[in-house]
Amino acid sequence: MRRDVFQAIADPTRRAILTLLAIQAMTPNAIAEHFESTRQAVSKHIKILAESDLVKQEQSGREIYYHFNPQKMKEVDKWLEPFRQKWEDRFNQLDTVLKNIKNTKP
């Protein structure tokens, strides 16, 4: 089952897992050590991240390591781009207003 990347990043625990994996690949047990929830709950989060292709797994001997897949985040970046442009335009307008106020002060 393929999951939507936005569904996957909607949960704060999954975002925290992605943050951990962006630093280094980790086993499920190593990931679970960072959370107060059960190992099974963390495994469910990892499964959702894997189903959305945000993480990839790699077998190394008996261990499975999960790696962050930054390419998949491009979907989020692409969706955010129009908003980012709008925010930049608004900040530029605010800068202009503030400069005008500063220039009109005695």
pLDDT tens-digit series, residues 42-80: 999 999 999 999 999 999 999 999 999 999 989 889 989
Q: What percent of the chain has pLDDT over 90?
A: 65
How wide is the angle at C-alpha 26 spanned by C-alphas 25 and 29, nearest 5°? Answer: 170
Cβ neighbors of 22 (< 8 A, separation 6 or more) are 68, 70
> Is 76 in contact with 30 (CB distance < 8 Å)?
no
In angstroms, rounded to a whole number, what is the distance separating the alpha carbons of residues 79 and 84?
Answer: 9
| Residues in the chain, total | 106
Domains annotated on the chain, with CATH: 5-104 (1.10.10.10)
Q: Is the pLDDT of residue 1 over 70?
A: no
CB 35, CB 16: distance < 8 Å: yes
**Looking at residue 27, what is its pLDDT?**
95
